[in-house]
Amino acid sequence: MSPAHLEISEHAAERLRERVITRSQIRQCLAKGELTGLDLRGRFVEEIKITKRILVVVYLQAKAGYIVITAY
């Protein structure tokens, strides 16, 4: 299920532009990706294979939805 609310941090927005990653791909990863664990700061890390690339999304969960910290 796709998140109801998706907030993109300023840092993440810059990285999405640089790496040509769309909001749709972020939503797809959060909806269907595999949770690979937590990073050292306790943020969630999910990944999904899209075509020949693996998309990794680092995010926090909030009451209203997700806050994307970065993606690569």
The predicted model scores a pTM of 0.88
Predicted pLDDT of residue 64? 84
Domain membership of residue 1 (yes or no) is: no
Count of domains observed in the chain? 1
Q: How many C-beta neighbours within 10 Å does residue 44 have?
A: 17
Asked, for residue 29, whether it belongs to a domain, the answer is yes
The stretches of 1-70 forming alpha helices (DSSP H) are 10-19, 23-32
Cα atoms found within 13 Å of the Cα of residue 49, Cβ hemisphere only: 2
The closest of 13, 9, 5 to 30, measured between CA atoms, is: 5
State the maximum Cα–Cα separation within the chain, in Å, rounded to a whole number: 33
Q: What is the pLDDT of residue 38?
A: 92
Digit-by-digit pLDDT tens for the chain (72 residues) are 455 789 999 999 999 999 999 999 999 999 999 999 999 999 999 999 998 999 999 999 988 899 999 999
Q: Does residue 35 belong to any structural domain of this protein?
A: yes
Residue 16 lies in a domain: yes
pLDDT reported for residue 1: 44
